[in-house]
Homo-oligomer: A and B are copies of this chain.
Amino acid sequence: MSQSPASPIKVGIVGGTGYTGVELLRMLCQHPHVKLTSITSRTEDGMRVAEMFPSLRGRVDLAFSSPEKAELTSCDVVFFATPHGVAMAQAKTLLAAGVKVIDLAADFRLQDTKVFEQWYKIPHACPDVLAESVYGVVELNRASIAKARVVGNPGCYPTTVLLGLSPLFGGAPLIDLHDIVVDAKSGISGAGRKAEVSHLLAEAADNFKAYGVAGHRHKPEIQEQLDRMAGAPVGLTFIPHLLPMIRGMFSTIYANILPEALGVDYQKLFEDHYRGEAFVDVMPAGSMPETRSVRASNTLRIAIHRPGNGRKLIILVVQDNLVKGAAGQAIQNMNLMFGFPETAGLSHVAISP
């Protein structure tokens, strides 16, 4: 472990009653350099956190407080585990008070406010803050995150797609940019802790379906980042599906190798690209990653396949949608922003079985 700083940083969470909120609590309450000082909930003001989440009994001794009462400006960093629209409304005040902001919703993900407004149906409240914010996939933007005051923590699906494809960009063209297919599958916790009939166990268990085929909000996010990485518009097809399980995300990515790039050793390319990364595991050739191999851990695993050694490159990516896909990645961002070891508080081993 690393030597701890003189004193831990003060951390606040806005909107702690959802799944990303409780996951932040699970990991932050064990973080060596963090002191949880406030957690807000408009609806649960005064309720003990451990009363709502018995899994935290004896570990988190805080009560929810209304946003008004919470002294967020005295924090060193505030996580927003809220629906979109909340973080951008409070970011300016917090920044002015010297508080860093990590938003787990969409307010600081899309750089293009027009795209944001088209998909989220509200005007962006602080384009200037958005302009300085950094898109928080650590493995892509490490240097700028370390200097950032505001980070837009990426969506769960985009994390798998961007880390699954990024080794293919930056050098000579390798794949056909006109046709990339992402067939993605997510555990239902990704839908959040909302009372919806379609997410009842009696509806969603023992069942599988696609959703958002006409257009999922993570698509423009993936599109914007892919276009940037590729340096050109990418023809992306993105179809998410819902898995009858709680945690775990799996993306099956289909790309066509360019004729001139058929000779490339893609296994080696990926291994070289991610060598030294603490949370990205390029599995040996022929591996079949399983979502359970990352359950409740911050690790993302990738396997590269090329059936018949042909032109179709198939990239399999697994992560825990609540950890590397949300809370874990947010803490990884925090570690960078405060100069902590990148793995601090993130050493959980996956739960298996």
Residues of B within 8 A of A120 (CB): none
Q: Mark A231-264, 1 if CB is under 8 A from B, else 0.
A: 0000001010101111110101010100000000
Most buried by B among A206, A312, A314: A206
**A332-352: which have CB < 8 Å to B?**
347-352
Task: Please tell me if the beta carbons of B195 and A195 are within 8 angstroms of each other in the complex.
Answer: yes
Q: How far is the CB of A40 from chain B (nearest CB, A)?
A: 19
Residues of B within 8 A of A316 (CB): 210, 213
Tell yes or no: A189 within 8 A of B by CB: yes
Question: How many Å lie between the Cα of A293 and that of B56 in the bound state?
Answer: 8
Tell yes or no: A228 within 8 A of B by CB: no
Tell yes or no: A185 within 8 A of B by CB: yes
Q: Mark A162-192, 1 if CB is under 8 A from B, else 0.
A: 0000000000000000010101010111010
Tell yes or no: A200 within 8 A of B by CB: yes
Task: Please tell me if the beta carbons of A288 and B213 are within 8 angstroms of each other in the complex.
Answer: yes
Task: Please tell me if the beta carbons of B208 and A205 are within 8 angstroms of each other in the complex.
Answer: no
Task: Please tell me if the beta carbons of A204 and B201 are within 8 angstroms of each other in the complex.
Answer: yes
Task: Please tell me if the beta carbons of A290 and B209 are within 8 angstroms of each other in the complex.
Answer: yes
Tell yes or no: A109 within 8 A of B by CB: no
| A26-B349, A206-B246 known; A314 vs B237 contact (CB < 8 Å) | yes
Extra contacts besides A30-B347, A54-B290 (16): CB < 8 Å: A54-B289, A54-B293, A58-B281, A181-B181, A181-B254, A193-B203, A195-B200, A199-B200, A199-B201, A201-B201, A206-B245, A207-B245, A211-B288, A215-B307, A295-B351, A296-B296
Q: List 18 A-B contacts (CB under 8 A).
A: A30-B349, A54-B290, A57-B281, A57-B283, A181-B183, A183-B254, A191-B202, A193-B202, A193-B353, A205-B246, A206-B247, A207-B291, A207-B292, A208-B243, A208-B250, A210-B250, A239-B314, A243-B244
Interface residues of A, Cβ cutoff 8 Å to B: 19, 22, 26, 29-30, 53-59, 179, 181, 183, 185, 187-189, 191, 193-197, 199-211, 213-215, 237, 239, 241, 243-248, 250, 252, 254, 256, 281, 283, 286-297, 299, 301, 305, 307-308, 312, 314, 316, 322, 347-353
